[in-house]
Amino acid sequence: MLQVYRSRPVGNLDSDALSFLSSMDDDVDLFFYDILGSQAHVIMLFESHILTQKEVVDILIGLNQLVSNPEQLNRPGINSSEDIHEMIESAIIRITGIDSGGKMHTARSRNDQVVLDIRMKLRDDVNSICTEILRLARSLVRVAEENVDTIMPMYTHLQQAQLGVLSQYMLSYCYSLIRNFERYYDAFTRINASPLGACAIGGSSMDIDREKVATMLGFSGIVYNSVDATSSRDFLIEFVSICLNTMLDLCRMSEDFILWSTSEFGFIVLDDKYSSSSSAMPQKKNPDPLELIRGKTATIQGDFVSISSIMKGLPSGYSRDLQELKPLLWKTSSTLRDSIKIMERIVSTLYVDKKAAYNSSSKSYAIALDIAEQLIRDGDISFRVAHKVIGALVESASTRGNIPMNALSVDDIAIVLKNIDFSHPILTSEKIYKTIQSITPETSIKLRRTKGSPNKNEQAFMISYLKSVLDKYESELEHRIQDLTKMQNNLVNRIKRIIDQGSP
């Protein structure tokens, strides 16, 4: 059987050339969407008086048969197609005959057809990813609620910087995820435009209704310019860039959790279900899922570079280079979705060792800034002077075997003040000693009242705010998903009515 699309070339493609050109392995994910687009397209052709009732009924019945029995696509002559579009059309022609089935592709090209399919799939991918993001964000808020009083060191340059609470970290991840959610949600509006009817590049002389197809398929409108509709993949690059940004956030979370789960930190313990063992060392409990999230971030980064490199230098109009985008896009989407799912399960089963976190805090010099700020209030000195005094005291404590600052005596402090030539009528060695003794890990947190700080009131505010945001976004996302489900149900009912009216 001659391949359907071969009109000018004589004979079929060379088998090796067909194998090289074929995108069938990557088009499996587009099967459902290609059927959906074809159903809406032929209904529009019928209602535009381009197809007869018999022709549209024949084609719609044939498409339904392929949905219920996709094995038909493996028949000889059909399974030698270059892509899913040719395969489906070949099957319809075999089922209905060329007089009816041969009209299915009227006023349509693979060029607008494939980007339609990709846009429909990406809509679902965006909604699925957004669902997983909100689920992970909920788990983070829950863990934060349970740890508003879990005092721990906070790190910059991987060095203890200030004291904080574990909830502060969990909420920071949640804020990042919400921003990513908003990016996906906004990108959806640019994805959700129909290119169908742009044909190969310059539209069609047939009297078709592009808006009708767009409405049937749940799009908010059409990509108006026919060249833009078939050439542009900016929506795709935007999607992958957001995926990369999300993975970078997951990567940062993974690295934090990996460090905190080590013997040296010991702040958290991963559930056994999300840990791996060593083939040689029986004591090992490795955070392999977190390490893989970290590693897979690099693969998505590579996919983004590959996608943008494929797009670089292409002229306007469809080029076969664009075929190479699909496997990269599918992999990026599935990798991200799987990574979010695993991270949510890790977070929801996390054990927090509050005692270990507090012990590390009580011995930490991360309290130094709080002491310096108290000296500023008590003695009306500049921050830089306070910084110098406390820095010298920390150096003295560290050279004495890393003793905590509250282990310094009045005499120890007096020696340090003399060495740096510091003299103050109020900030005597006795006063500084009392200040150091008064600032515990608990008072350190309590003293900080700036918006967004680890202070308990601020933690409560952020938790309440994030809960309300998640409530709002969950509701909006549910409505968006329901709209697409309603679209599919309406299309199914419309097809049934047309078939019923046209049946003898």
Strands (E), 117-222: 151-156, 159-165
Catalytic residue among 7, 68, 157, 503: 157
387 is catalytic: no
Number of H helices, E strands in the chain: 20, 4
Quick one: how far is CA 179 from the chain centroid? 10
Contact 41, 204 (CB under 8 A): no
Give the C-alpha separation, 66 to 69, whole Å: 5
DSSP alpha helix (H) spans, 402-455: 410-419, 429-438, 441-447
Give the C-alpha separation, 166 to 146, whole Å: 9
Catalytic residue among 19, 277, 278, 409: 278
DSSP, residue by residue, 54-96: HHHHHHHHHHHHHHH-GGGGGSTTTTT-SSHHHHHHHHHHHHH
Quote the tokens at residue 275: 């840990």
278 is catalytic: yes
Give the C-alpha separation, 330 to 332, whole Å: 6
Closest residue by Cα to residue 487 from 43, 164, 108, 36: 36
The phi and psi torsions of 440 (rounded to 5 degrees) equal: -100, 175
List active site positions. 157, 278
